[in-house]
Amino acid sequence: MPISAPEPAKRETLLVARGIVAGYGKLSVLEGVDIEVRAGEAVALLGPNGAGKSTLLSALSGIIAKSAGSVHFAGADVTRATPQQAVRAGLVHVLEGHHVFGPLSVHDNLLLAAFNAPPGERAARIEEAYEAFPEMAERRHLRASALSGGQQQMLVVAQGIVRRPRLLMLDEPSAGLSPVLVDRVLAVAAAMRARGVSILLVEQLVEKALGLADRVYVLARGRMALVSESAAGLAPAAIERAYLGGEALAGVQP
Amino acid sequence: MKAPTALRPAATIIAGALLLATLPLFLNDYWVHIATLAGTYWVLVSGLDLVVGYAGMLAVGYGGMLAVGAYTASVLAAKAGLDPLLALACCTVTGVIAGIIVGIPGLRLTSFYFAMATLGFAIIVTQVALAWGSLTGGGIGLAAPAYADPFASTGGFYCLVLIIDALATWLVWNIASGNPGRALIAVRDADVAAEAVGVPIARLKLSVFALSGALGSVAGGLFATAQSYITPDAFTLDLSVLFFIAVLIGGRGRIVGPMIGTGLLTLLPEIAAPLVAWSAFVYACLLLVVVLLAPGGIAELLERLRRAPPPIDRMAGPEPEAMSAALVSAPRAAGQLALAEVSRAFGGVRALDGISLTLAPGTVHGLIGPNGSGKTTALNILSGFYAVHSGRIRLGEADITRTSVQARAALGIARTFQTPRILGEASVIENVMLGAWRHAAASFGEVALGLPRFYRDERALRAQAMAALATVGLAAWANARADRLQHSEQRFLEIARALAMRPGFVLLDEPAAGLSAAEIENLGAIIAEMRRLGLGVLLVEHHADFVFRISDQVTVLATGRVLAAGTPAEIRAHREVVHAYLGA
Amino acid sequence: MIWASILVAGIATGAVYAMIGLAYNVMYSTSKVMSFTAGMLGMLGSVFGALFIGVLHWPVAAGFVATLAVGGIFGWITERLSVRPVLRNIDKHLYVLSTLALALMVQQLAAIEWGTEPRPFPTLFGIGHDLTSEQYWLPVIACIIAAAALEWFYRGTLAGRAFLAISEDARAALALGIPERRMRVLSYVLSGVVGAFAGFVGGELLLAFFANGMMLTFYGFIPVAIGGLGSNRGALVGGLVLGLIQQAANYWFGGDMVPVVAFAVFIAILLAMPRGLFGAAAQRRV
C-alpha cells in the first residue's frame, strides 16, 4: 500500500470520507456525509431507521456508487475502488442481515471470504476465524442454511475476520441475536480492536454500541446530526433528540 | 410541452391518408405490392403494439397469428367456397381464439418464458399446417382467396388493405389512448400499482390478446391474397422477428413509431437489393442497436429532442382545498377498517404476531416502529397484497380477510408505496387518471369502437385528475413525463393517484421519506385535509416527529407486536417506546 | 426393437438437450440471465466441428479443441455485447431482446456463410453400428463428462464456489471481495465451451445445420423449465424426459408433431409448476 506522507494532524486517520452523496436510483439517501475513522479506534454510527447508515457503509465499501464525495483509505484514494479493491486494501464490510451462502458449507463460506488472500494463506486465516468462533469449527461441514440465525451472524463476522481487515465495518451485528450472542460478537470486535483493527459499528442497541466505541456519529435523514468525540460523555438526551427530531445538534468535525 | 391545435394532427392524418390512397396512381404494380405488404403487416403490428409496446409482453412469435389467418381465409374460401370477404371476416374468430391461447400462458409466464412460449406457438402453427395435409395442402400449399371487383386488381386490393389499416389503427388508437392503454402501461411498468387501483389484470390482458389475435389473423387473411399462394414455409421465424422489431424500433407505448417501423422494415430489403440475403441479419442488428442505445425506440429519441426544460419553480404549493373536487363525491362512511389479532409469518419468521388495529374514518392513525417491526407488512395486509395466516380483517360489518387487492380497491382502500410505483413513460396526468380507472363507465369494446361513453369518461377522469394534481401541487406538471419528476414529487403523484380512486381510506407507506422540510409541511396539510373530508388515513412512517404532530392515534410496533397504542402525547411519554427506538 | 430405438435415440438427443440446458444454467448462475444464445452455441459446435474436421481436414483433437475455443469466444462476446450493457436494469428484461438479437445474428451469419442446407458431420471414431453407433453413445458420454466436470468445478474449485455464491446472493459475494464481473465473464466462456461441446458431440445426430440453433435454444430450455432454473440435476433429468417423449411422439404421431408435443409438455410444465422440479422459491413483490 503506497502511503503518501500525511499531514501531521491527520497522521492517524485511516478512513476519511467527505461529502458523500449516494442513494438508489432517483432517491438519494445520503446528502453530503463526512466521516473519519482513525487507526485502532472503534467508532459507533447510530441513527434512526432509514437514516442511511447501511447506505453509507455500502458507499464506503464500493458496493453502491457515489454520485459525489471522496473516500480516502490509508492514504490512498478509494473513491472509485471496486469492492474487491476495497477488500484488498483492508476496508472490509460485513453486511447486515446474515447474508450467508445457504447451499454452501460453513467452511466454503469462509473460503470464499478468503478469495483475495494468497492461496497459501487461506487456511491460516480461516483457522483464525475458527479460533474466534469455535462453534463454526465444529460445524464446518454443515450447510450454512442449516445454521441458526445467531450462528449465521457469527459466520458473517467470521467472514469479516478472514478478510483480515484494517477497518472492519459491522452493520447491525446484533440483529436477531440473543443478548448472550450479542456480547460474544461484540467481544470479538473488541478483541480485534485490541489487535489494532479499527471498527466502524452500526448498531441499533445504542448502549452496547456506546460500550464499545471511542467516538460516536449519529446520522439522521441522510446527514450527520451529531458527532461526539467521546462516547462516554454523551448525554442520552442528545442522542434521543437527534433520533426523534432529526435536527442537527452539536456536530462540528474536529 | 405545448398544447397542439386540434387541426394540425387532423390535417396531417388526412394528408397522409390521401397520399397513401393515391399511391397506385404513380407507382408500378411491384411497388404497390410492396406497399400492400407493408399495409398488411401494419394490421398485425398495430395489435402487437398493444401487447408488446403497451402491455410489455415479449410476444416474439406473432408470425403464428399470420399463419392462422392465412389458413383460415384460404381453407374457408377454397374448401368451403365462402366469399373471400366473408372468409376474411371469419379470420377474426380464429384470431380471437389463437390470441387467447397465446394469452393464457401470458397470464402466468414472464419475459423469457413467455417469449419462448410464443416462439413455440409460431413453430406449432406451421408444423400443424404441415401435418394436417388434408385441410391445408401440407407442404404443397393452398391457393389463396381472390377477391372480386373492386378489390381484384393490385390497386383495388391495396385499397382494401388501406381501409382495414384505417380501421385497425382506429381501434388500437382508442384502446391505447383510453383507460385500457393506461392500465396496460401500468401492468408493464408497475404491476402492483395496477393491482392497487383495482385493474383486473387477467381480464384486461386477455382482451388485448384477443384483439391483437383478431388483427393478426385478419392480416394473415390479407397476406395470403397478397402472396396468392401459401405454404407453411411462408411463415418463417424472420417474419415473426420483423413484426416484433417493428414495434421496438418504433418505440413501445406509441402508435406512430411502430407504423414507421413497419414501413421501414418492409422497404429495407427492397431499396437495398444486395441486402435481401442479409435482411434477417440486419433486422437482428437493428434490434440489438435499438435495445442497447435507445430502448425507447425512434419515438423516444424524437421526444428527447422536443423536451422542454423543467420549470424553475418546480413544485407549486399544494391546494388542499381542491381535494373535495378530486374526490368528486363525499367519501362513503363505510365504517372502520380493522385488523383483529392478525398474524403473518415469512419462512418461519413471524412478521406480525397478533396485531389489532383500528382505522376510523376522519382520523389519522400513525404506525411507527423499528425496522422489521412489521409496519409495512401490516399495510400490505390491509391492502390485500399479503394474505393473513390467522386473524380477521373487517371493513365496517363486512369481513374482507380473503378479499382480493382489486376488490379492496373497489371498497375504497387506496395506498401508496414505499418506493413510488409510477408509470415513468406516461404523463403525470395519465398516472393520476389510472387511479380513477374504476370510475370509467365504458367497456373495452366501447373504448375500442370510440363510442360516446368513452369520450365522456375521458373528460370526467381528466377533470378529476387535474383536481387531484392541484391538490398535491403538481398541476403545472400534468403533461410532463412522470419519470421527469423528482423522487419527492413522485411521492405526491402517488398521493394524487390514490385520491383519484375516490377512496374512503388511504394507506400511506413512508410518504415523508426523502422529502425536504418544506415538502413535509405540504404533506401534513394534505393529510389534514384528508382527515377533514372524512378519509381514514394510515400513516406508516419513520419520521416519528411528523407522526406525533399530525396523528390522532399512534400505534407502535416492535418485532411484530403492538408495543404501545394511544394518543401522540401518551406515546411520547411511554418509556418502552423510546427504548425500542434506542434499543437500550 | 422399436422400444430399443426409441430408448437409444431418445437418450442420445436428450443428452444433447441436457447439455444445452447446462449451458443455460451456467450463464444464469452469475447473471440471472436466460440467454437465447444457448442453442446457438450448440449450432456453432456442429458447424465449426464439421468445418474444421470435415472441410479443412484437421485432426479430430485439434478440431475439437478449436471448436470449444470458438464456443468460448462466442460466450465471451455474448457477455460483452448483449448481457453486460443491459444488466444494470435487469428488471426491465432487456436481456431477452439483446440475447435474441445476437442469437438471430449468429444464426443468420451461419445461414449465409455455411449454407441453408444441413451438411453432414464427419465420423469421429467409427466405433459401433446401428443402435450402438457413435452418434448415439457419444452425446451420452459427453453429457456425463460435462455434468461431472461442472459438478467438480462448482464443488471443488474456489472459482466454482464463487459462481454459486454470486448466484445465491450477488451483493454478499461482492462485499466479500469476489470480482463479480470477472466471474460472470468466466461463466459465459465456460457456458460457451459446454454448449459447443454439446453441438460437437451431437453433430452426427443432428447434422451441421444453421436452423439447429433456434431448435436447440427451444429444446434446450425445456429441460431447464422442467428441472428448475439453475439446477443442473434438473436439466439432466429434464433432458432425458424430453428426448424420450420426442422419440415416442415421433414414432406414434410422426415427425411433424414432435414440436407440438414438446411445446405442449413445455407449457403444461410451466403452468403446473412454474419453478420446475428443483427450482428456487418465488420472491416477494412489495
Element (H, E) at A176: none
CB atoms within 10 A of CB C91: 7
Q: Is B116 on the interface with C (CB under 8 A)?
A: yes
Residues pairing with A25 in the sheet: none
The answer to whether residues B330 and B184 belong to one domain is no
Q: Where are chain A's structural domains?
A: 8-244
Put simply, the answer to whether B581 touches A26 (Cβ < 8 Å) is no
Q: What residue in B sits closest to C86 (Cα-Cα)?
A: B292
- For chains B and C, CB pairs below 8 A equal 109
ipTM of the complex: 0.89
**C48 neighbors C70 (Cβ within 8 angstroms):** yes
Q: Do the Cβ atoms of B542 and A203 come within 8 Å?
A: no
Contacts of A94 in chain C (CB under 8 A): 175
Residue whose grid cell is 409466464:
B109
Residue type, A76: A
Q: Please answer whether residues C35 and C69 qualify as being in contact, where contact means their C-beta atoms are separated by less than 8 angstroms.
A: no
Cell of A191: 478483541
Contact B281 C104 (CB under 8 A): yes
Dig out the grid coordinates for B217 from the structure: 389473423
Phi, psi of B544 (to 5 degrees): -60, -40
Chain A and chain C share a number of CB contacts under 8 A equal to 59
Q: Which residues of A touch C173 (CB under 8 A)?
A: 101, 112
Task: Output DSSP code: residue C256.
Answer: G
Do the chains contact at B112 and C93, CB–CB below 8 Å? yes
CA atoms within 13 A on the CB side of B333: 7
**B contact test, residue of A24, A27, A147 with most B CBs within 10 A:** A27
Sheet order of strands, A167-171 included:
A91-94, A167-171, A198-202, A42-46, A215-220, A223-228
Buried b (16+ CB within 10 A) or exposed e, C31-66: bebbbbbbbbbbbbbbbbbbbbbbeeebeeeebbeb
Angle between helices B297-306 and B256-271 (to 10 degrees): 120
What are C74's three cell numbers? 462466442
CB-count exposure of residue C69 (10 Å: 0-12, 13-18, 19+):
middle
Q: Tell me the CATH number at B328.
A: 3.40.50.300
The answer to whether residue B243 sits within a structural domain is: no
Share of chain C residues as helix, strand and coil, in percent rounded to the nearest 5 = 80, 0, 20
Which cell is C169 given?
Answer: 446472493
Let me know: does A142 contact A66? Beta carbons within 8 Å. no
Rounded CA-CA distance B4/A241 in Å is 54
Burial of B325 from C-beta contacts in 10 A (0-12 / 13-18 / 19+)? middle
Residue B385 lies in a domain: yes
Number of domains in chain B: 2
Q: How many CA atoms lie within 13 A of B199 on its CB side?
A: 30
Instruction: Give me the residue label for grid cell 443478548.
Output: A179
Do B325 and B216 belong together in one domain? Answer: no
Lowest average pLDDT, out of B119-133, B305-319, C107-121, C201-215, goes to B305-319
Q: Do B292 and C85 touch (CB under 8 A)?
A: yes
Strand-strand pairing, B229-230 and B142-143: antiparallel
DSSP B53: I
- B43 and B157 co-located in one domain: yes
Q: Which residues of A touch B487 (CB under 8 A)?
A: 25-28
C-alpha cell recorded at residue A197: 483493527
Q: In whole angstroms, what is the distance from residue A6 CA to residue B507 CA?
A: 54
- Which chains does A contact via 3+ CB–CB distances below 8 A? B, C
Residue B385 with chain C: CB contacts under 8 Å: 285-286
| Residue B118: partners with Cβ closer than 8 Å, 6 or more residues away | B58, B59, B60, B61, B62, B64, B102
CATH 3.40.50.11310 fits A8-244, yes or no: no
Contact A56, A20 (CB under 8 A): yes
The region, left, alpha or beta by phi > 0 then psi within -120 to 50, assigned to residue B175 is: alpha
Please say whether the beta carbons of B392 and B341 come within 8 A: yes
Which chains pack against B, by 3+ Cβ pairs within 8 A? A, C
Q: Which tens digits make up the pLDDT trace of A81-126?
A: 999 999 999 999 999 888 899 889 999 999 999 999 999 999 999 9
- What angle do the packed helices C158-168 and C2-31 form, to 10 degrees? 80
CA dist., res. B482 & res. B496, Å (int):
13
Tell how strand A167-171 and strand A198-202 pair up.
parallel
Count of CB atoms situated within 10 Å of the CB of B390: 13
User: What is the residue-averaged pLDDT of chain C?
Assistant: 91
Listed residues B236, B262, B295: the one ending a domain: B236
Q: How far off is chain B from C225, nearest CA to CA, in Å?
A: 9
Helix pair C212-227, C258-272: axis angle to 10 deg = 30
Between CA C74 and CA B493 the distance in angstroms is 46
Chain A CB contacts of B511 under 8 Å are: none
C-alpha cell at B341: 389479532
List the single residue in B with minimal CA-CA distance to A207: B584
Q: In terms of CA atoms, which chain B residue is nearest residue C94?
A: B291
In the predicted structure, residue C277 carries a pLDDT above the cut 90: no
Q: For chain A, say whether C179 makes contact (Cβ under 8 Å).
A: yes
pLDDT at position B51: 94
Q: In this predicted structure, what is the pLDDT of residue B372?
A: 73
Structurally, chain C folds into a number of domains equal to 1
B484 touches chain A (CB under 8 A): no
**Residues making up chain C, counted from first to last:** 286
- The enclosing domain of C236 has a CATH number of 1.10.3470
For residue C243 the three cell numbers come to: 428426448
Euclidean distance between CA atoms B183 and B423, whole angstroms: 10
Domain membership of residue B523 as a residue range: 320-424+486-582
pLDDT at residue number A123: 93
B73 within domain boundaries = yes
In a domain, C283, yes or no: no
B78 touches chain C (CB under 8 A): no
Pairwise CB contact (< 8 Å): A50 & B510? yes
C159 and chain B in contact, CB less than 8 A: no
Contacts of C273 (CB under 8 A, 6+ apart): C279
All three cell numbers of A88, joined, read 484488498
CB-nearest to B581 from A25, A208, A243 is A243
Return the sign of the alpha-carbon dihedral for residues A139, A143, A149, A155: positive
Q: Quick one: DSSP state of residue A6? A: P
Q: How far apart are CA B562 and CA B576, in angstroms?
A: 12
Distance, CA of A72 to CA of A38 (rounded, Å): 12
Contact yes or no for C98 and B248 at CB 8 A = no
The model's confidence at residue C266, banded by pLDDT at 50, 70 and 90, is confident
Q: Which residues of C touch B130 (CB under 8 A)?
A: 256
Question: Which domain-ending residue is among B179, B206, B236?
Answer: B236
How far is the alpha carbon of A63 from chain C, nearest alpha carbon, in Å? 7
CA distance A51 to B559: 19
Maximum average pLDDT range among A181-185, B332-336, C17-21, C163-167: C17-21
A49–B contact, CB cutoff 8 A = yes
Residue-by-residue pLDDT tens, chain B, 584 positions: 344 444 566 777 788 888 887 887 788 888 899 999 999 999 999 999 999 989 989 998 999 999 999 999 999 998 888 999 999 999 999 999 999 999 998 888 878 889 989 988 998 898 889 888 888 888 888 999 988 888 888 889 999 999 999 999 999 999 999 999 999 999 988 889 999 999 999 999 999 999 999 999 999 999 999 999 999 988 988 888 889 888 888 777 678 888 888 988 888 877 776 666 788 888 888 889 988 887 777 767 776 666 665 555 565 688 888 888 888 875 666 789 999 999 998 877 788 999 999 999 999 999 988 777 888 899 999 999 999 999 999 998 899 999 999 999 999 999 999 989 999 888 999 999 999 988 988 999 999 999 999 999 999 999 999 999 999 999 988 888 888 888 889 999 999 999 999 999 999 999 998 788 888 999 999 999 999 999 999 999 888 889 999 999 999 988 888 988 999 888 888 777 666 665 43
Q: Are residues B324 and B229 part of one domain?
A: no
> Considering the domain boundaries, does residue C282 fall inside one?
no
Identify the band that residue A247 occupies on the pLDDT scale cut at 50, 70 and 90.
Answer: very low
Contact B123 C100 (CB under 8 A): no
Residues B34 and B145 reside in one and the same domain: yes
Q: Do C256 and B131 touch (CB under 8 A)?
A: yes
B154, part of any domain: yes
Which chain A residues touch C30 with a CB distance below 8 Å? none
Contacts 24+ apart (CB under 8 A), B307-314: B307/B484, B308/B1, B310/B480, B310/B484, B311/B476, B311/B477, B314/B486, B314/B489
C34 pLDDT more than 60: yes
Looking at the complex, does the CB of residue C54 fall below 8 Å from at least one CB of chain B? no
Chain B residue with CA closest to C221: the answer is B116
Strand positions, DSSP E, A110-211: 167-171, 198-202
For chain B, positions 221-280, list CB contacts with chain A under 8 A.
none
Measure CB to CB from residue C161 to each of A87, A94, A112 and give the nearest one. Answer: A112
Residue of B281, B290, B382 best to disrupt the C interface, most CBs of C under 10 A:
B281
- B399 and A CB contact within 8 Å: no
pLDDT band at residue A9 using 50, 70 and 90 as cut-offs: very low
How far apart, in whole angstroms, are the C-alpha atoms of residue C262 and residue C222?
A: 8
Q: Do C175 and A102 touch (CB under 8 A)?
A: no
Last residue within a domain, chosen from B203, B218, B236: B236
Does A104 sit within 8 Å of C164, measured CB to CB? yes
For residues B403 and B548, membership in a common domain is answered with yes
Question: What are the residue ranges of helices labelled H in B190-274?
Answer: 191-196, 201-227, 237-250, 256-271
How many helices and strands (H and E) does chain A possess?
Answer: 9, 10
**Residue B517 CB coordination number (10 Å):** 9
Note whether B355 and B374 are within 8 A (CB).
Answer: yes
Cell, residue B66: 399470420
The answer to whether B291 contacts C94, with C-beta atoms less than 8 Å apart, is yes
Q: With bands split at pLDDT 50, 70 and 90, how would you rate the model's confidence at A13?
A: confident
In a domain, C278, yes or no: no
Q: Which residues pair with B436 in a beta bridge?
A: none
Residues of C whose CB is below 8 A from B112: 34, 93, 96
Share of chain A above pLDDT 70, in %: 86
CA gap B233, B251 in Å, rounded = 29
What pLDDT is recorded for position C276? 73
How many C-beta atoms lie closer than 10 Å to residue A248's C-beta? 15
Residue B427 DSSP class: B
Q: Is A65 on the interface with C (CB under 8 A)?
A: no
Whether the CB of B498 is below 8 Å from some CB of chain A: the reply is no
Give me the DSSP letters along B479-516.
TSBGGGS-HHHHHHHHHHHHHHT--SEEEEESTTTT--
Question: Could you list the residue range(s) of the whole structural domain that residue C253 is in?
Answer: 2-272
Interface test with C, best of A60, A95, A101 (most C CBs within 10 A): A101
- For chain A, give the longest Cα–Cα distance: 52
Q: What pLDDT is attached to residue A94?
A: 94
> Is the minimum CB–CB distance between C102 and chain A shorter than 8 Å?
no
Percent of chain C clearing pLDDT 70 (strictly above): 97
Cell of C229: 432454473
